[in-house]
Structure 1
Amino acid sequence: MQKQVQTALLMAASLFMDMMDGTIVTSAIPRIAEAFHVQESTASLLVSSYIIALAVLIPLSGWLGERYGHKKIWMYAVGGFTITSFLSALSTSFYMLLAMRIMQGISASLMTPTARIIVMEKTPPKDMLRMTSFLIWPALIAPALAPVLGGILVTSLSWHWIFLINIPLGIVCLLLGQRLIPPGVPYVDRHFDSAGFAEIATMSTLLLAAGDMASRGAVYYRPSLVLLAIGLVIGLYFCRHLCRAESPLFSPWPMKIASFRISQTRESFLWLSVGALPYLLTVFLQSYFGWSPVKAGMYILFIFLGNIGIKPFTTFIIEHIRYKKTFYLAFFWILISSFGFALTTPSTPGIILIILAVFSGMGRSLSLTAYNGLCFSELRHEERNDANTLTAVTSNLATGLGISLITVVNAVSAHIAGMEKGYEISFLFLGILMIYPIIETSMLPDNIGENTLKR
């Protein structure tokens, strides 16, 4: 068990490195644009290119892991991520940096899902909740910590350091991974579904490109809607292909299991909110309150404190009130905090903002821990690799689209009702996203996930 915990913490560290790198670059966009004499809109491609490369190649991870072994793929991915981080810092032109960011995204696309399956593949249901709790914290901490850390590094040192900080962490991960991770069983002779991969890669690219384009202003709304429509149609063809193919890229049949299915549908709404709230709150405090990036970032850290503060108690809460009541409690916290932010003004006492941020972090931490505890609980071991790939696809698409979606909602609301009302509507929108999960929770059996709980 001790080695399992050590391995889970190691995988969490690699997930943190990926998720931090996906968002921390945002803080350095103005400095990078100035250094390479490009427009900030052009420099923002460093963010979108990483997210798209990550989403497009994630479906490959399951097939590669089965064929060559999950440990080998994870080691190569961490090594590639570390090297491209170093080369990003050494970039002598914007296009060299852009190429390195794409390569980073490719490495992350193999590292992220492989890290999860290394932990979850052999974990028995009774230990699922404990093991998944280790894997949740990077997703909760990275979006809250990235603006502060990025601002400090860029202000105190230079933009190069947002990449250089990955190098020692990557080296440590490689050294510990070689010792801790079991070799696994490589080479499952499974046909590569090239048609399915082409479909899902095209769908992911179009959906994320549509979101990124829409976030750039009203002039792009019409072409982004076209890309969105085409992407959704291709997505429908891909779903049909998965159901009909003899050897699909990954099996869709885990979706028949209720505990796994709800972790894909309702958790997607949570990922939208998890990715969007720290971003929206940062922009809100800077644009509407007129705060400096550092001061705004310090308040965002209280989301992180809420995440961490509730973490020692999440397993205890779930075991004592069970999953269904846990979901109700978590959704209530998220709903109340989002609606609370909608009512804040520049005259609102700082302690109110802190309380709302803490409750928002607690709700996200508790709900994501519960979802991940349920996710693989009723799946057979041989189904977990396909289920893990599907989970990685849906969560990354939801996270990538979250910021774009809230940017569009905020821009349209502000255009119609003014800046103040625009932010108010945006926070209300994030709260309303919780209504669907609450309704679906009411339909769950009271004893769902009992096999993951201590008797």
Structure 2
Amino acid sequence: MRKVRVLPLIVATALFMENMDSTVISTSLPMIALDLGTDPIALKLALTSYLVSLAIFIPISGWMADKYGARTIFTAAIAVFMAGSLASAGADSLAGFVIARFVQGMGGAMMVPVGRLVILRSVSRNEVVQALALLTIPALVGPVVGPPLGGFITTYFHWRWIFFINIPIGVLGIVLATMYVPNIREDDTPPLDVAGFLLSGLGLALLMLGLASGGRHLIPESVSLACVVIGTISVAAYVWHAKRTPHPVLRLDLLKVPTFAISVVGGSLFRVGVGSIPFLLPLMLQIGFGLSPVASGSLTFIAAVGALFMKTMAKRILERFGFRRVLIANAFIGAAFIAFHGLFTATTPHWLIMLILLIGGCFRSLQFTSLNAIAYAEVSKRDMSHATSLSSAVQQVALSVGVAFGAFAVEATAHWHGRSAIAAEDFGPAFWAVAAVSALAGFVFARLEPTAGAEMSGHRALEQKPPATGLGDGTTNLGEEVERR
């Protein structure tokens, strides 16, 4: 029981730092763009560069933890994140800011997946939901504090100071991890799949860079298109490579495990909509409605309050309804609340905006708690490092796609109306577009069995059905086979 309480709280220090950092930056985007002399939409590159870095280095996070020890990699990752924070504070151009955020992503790629791996390998299956909930409760304090704090610092001081907040938090995380986190490692770690790492890293980086840089920002359209083409070819080459190497950096065969595959695919669709919110919402409130950063942050923080509240109820809800019903219902409800963002106007009462953000935060929080647990219901502890690496990498790609897709929708709407600059009415269609993508996740979650993840949730469905099949044709339930490996 002590592990269930202590380890999640320590890992949550890193999550707190990362989540607060992202929400602080989101609130400050318009002022950062003004100071750097660039279009606010161009700062999608700063958000996606961080997510791209995560996608590149997350695949080797599990291998490095197995090889060198979880505590060693976890503490080193915090140090790299702090270095990236200092570089972000000193950036004086869009290119410099994008590169600094990439360095931050290198640290973030190791912090959260390795921390989650320590928890998954240290607690029993029936304690996973509780441990993950404890992990995210302190971490959600970051998004609660981040928007108003970022708005206050940006409005009354300077946006560069927001990055110095990470330094004392990072030092505390390193000290606690050194004292309490076990240096879990594997004795028979296979060699690193260098070719696979290069193919997956290059493919994901170029693909996301191409999607995010479309338009008039930083690089020409022809270069953006070339990045998409080469990135797609590299990702396809990795899929071919992974089937032919004994120890691929990303274990795609884990997608044959039904609950893991459904969580990855459905979760990715849902995260496209959610990933766009930190980018679109502050821009709409500040650029579209004319609010100050501090006023904007004082509204948006309430979503994290709702998420924090829901974490205390997630386990009881899952025990009552089970993963399948919760995930299906939440996909549609969560998507609806994303769509509601598009109905906001400059005259919408602030109390109504906060109420919708609060309730939407509750449902999104329950969805992510459920997704993070059900993904590992049939994965053996030996395969946890591979599963967390693959799941985390796909999550970051989905969030990056959300930012790029949301930015594209805003720019496309402005172009449709014959404007070169974005206006308040351009954000509604963007929110509706990303919400439609998130809603598609409900149809994927419908493929779960009523008893899926019952050992974790404590739910026992009345109706028993045959084992679920995988997402691809001819695949079978390989949960037991994976468990034997």
- Give the alignment's TM-score, normalised by structure 2: 0.84
Residue 244 of structure 1: how far off its partner (Å):
1.6
Once residues 31 and 285 of structure 1 are traced to their aligned partners in structure 2, the CA distance between those partners, rounded to angstroms, is 13
CA contact (8 A) 2:338 2:432 kept: yes
Q: Which moved more, 1:163-172 or 1:105-114?
A: 105-114
**1:442 is the counterpart of 2:446:** yes
CA pair 348-123 structure 1, distance change in 2 beyond 3 A: same
Once residues 284 and 86 of structure 1 are traced to their aligned partners in structure 2, the CA distance between those partners, rounded to angstroms, is 28
Deviations 1:221-241 (A, max 9, x none): 564344223322221221221
Residue 160 of structure 1: how far off its partner (Å):
3.7
Q: 2:37 maps to which residue?
A: 39
Once residues 123 and 159 of structure 1 are traced to their aligned partners in structure 2, the CA distance between those partners, rounded to angstroms, is 40
Once residues 153 and 420 of structure 1 are traced to their aligned partners in structure 2, the CA distance between those partners, rounded to angstroms, is 25
**1:106 is the counterpart of 2:110:** no
Residue 389 of structure 1: how far off its partner (Å):
0.6
Q: 2:241 maps to which residue?
A: 241
Once residues 299 and 218 of structure 1 are traced to their aligned partners in structure 2, the CA distance between those partners, rounded to angstroms, is 31
Aligned pairs (5 A) from 1:261-410: 261-410=261-410
Deviations 1:194-249 (A, max 9, x none): 11011011112112211320265699556434422332222122122112212211
Residue 20 of structure 1: how far off its partner (Å):
3.2
Q: 1:53 maps to which residue?
A: 53
CA pair 350-225 structure 1, distance change in 2 beyond 3 A: same
AA aligned opposite 1:185: R
AA aligned opposite 2:439: I
Residue 297 of structure 1: how far off its partner (Å):
1.9
Once residues 394 and 93 of structure 1 are traced to their aligned partners in structure 2, the CA distance between those partners, rounded to angstroms, is 31
Deviations 1:85-119 (A, max 9, x none): 45655x49668877654433322222221111111
CA pair 392-68 structure 1, distance change in 2 beyond 3 A: same
Q: 1:156 maps to which residue?
A: 156
CA pair 196-23 structure 1, distance change in 2 beyond 3 A: farther
AA aligned opposite 1:40: T
Residue 180 of structure 1: how far off its partner (Å):
1.4
Once residues 388 and 374 of structure 1 are traced to their aligned partners in structure 2, the CA distance between those partners, rounded to angstroms, is 12
Residue 422 of structure 1: how far off its partner (Å):
2.9
CA pair 198-173 structure 1, distance change in 2 beyond 3 A: same
Residue 127 of structure 1: how far off its partner (Å):
1.2
Once residues 262 and 138 of structure 2 are traced to their aligned partners in structure 1, the CA distance between those partners, rounded to angstroms, is 22
Once residues 374 and 329 of structure 1 are traced to their aligned partners in structure 2, the CA distance between those partners, rounded to angstroms, is 15
- Which of 422, 434, 448 lines up with 1:430 in the alignment? 434
Residue 187 of structure 1: how far off its partner (Å):
4.7
CA contact (8 A) 2:63 2:189 kept: no
Residue 363 of structure 1: how far off its partner (Å):
1.4
Q: 1:120 maps to which residue?
A: 120
CA contact (8 A) 2:65 2:185 kept: no
Identity, in percent, stands at 26
Once residues 98 and 283 of structure 2 are traced to their aligned partners in structure 1, the CA distance between those partners, rounded to angstroms, is 25
Q: 2:478 maps to which residue?
A: none
CA contact (8 A) 1:414 1:423 kept: no
Residue 411 of structure 1: how far off its partner (Å):
1.2
AA aligned opposite 1:332: F
Once residues 78 and 219 of structure 1 are traced to their aligned partners in structure 2, the CA distance between those partners, rounded to angstroms, is 31
CA contact (8 A) 1:126 1:453 kept: yes
Deviations 1:360-394 (A, max 9, x none): 11111011111111011111111111001101111
Q: Which moved more, 1:411-420 or 1:399-408?
A: 411-420
Q: Which moved more, 1:67-76 or 1:118-127?
A: 118-127
Unpaired runs of 5+ residues, structure 2, are 460-485
Deviations 1:118-153 (A, max 9, x none): 111233221121122234457866567544322222
Deviations 1:258-297 (A, max 9, x none): 1111111111122222221232222222233222222222
Q: Which moved more, 1:105-114 or 1:372-381?
A: 105-114
Q: 1:198 maps to which residue?
A: 198
Q: 1:8 maps to which residue?
A: 8
SS class of match (1:185) = coil
AA aligned opposite 1:383: D
AA aligned opposite 1:265: V
Once residues 436 and 455 of structure 2 are traced to their aligned partners in structure 1, the CA distance between those partners, rounded to angstroms, is 32
AA aligned opposite 2:287: S
Residue 357 of structure 1: how far off its partner (Å):
1.0
SS class of match (2:458) = coil
Once residues 289 and 334 of structure 2 are traced to their aligned partners in structure 1, the CA distance between those partners, rounded to angstroms, is 22
SS class of match (1:434) = helix
Unpaired runs of 5+ residues, structure 1, are none
CA pair 433-65 structure 1, distance change in 2 beyond 3 A: same
SS class of match (1:117) = helix
CA pair 218-363 structure 1, distance change in 2 beyond 3 A: farther
Once residues 34 and 280 of structure 2 are traced to their aligned partners in structure 1, the CA distance between those partners, rounded to angstroms, is 25
Q: 1:452 maps to which residue?
A: 456
AA aligned opposite 1:275: G
SS class of match (1:452) = helix
CA pair 92-120 structure 1, distance change in 2 beyond 3 A: closer
CA contact (8 A) 1:29 1:40 kept: no
AA aligned opposite 2:157: L
SS class of match (1:40) = coil
Pairwise CA RMSD: 2.9
Residue 61 of structure 1: how far off its partner (Å):
1.1
CA contact (8 A) 2:144 2:301 kept: yes
SS class of match (2:440) = helix
CA pair 258-135 structure 1, distance change in 2 beyond 3 A: farther
Aligned pairs (5 A) from 1:121-140: 121-137=121-137
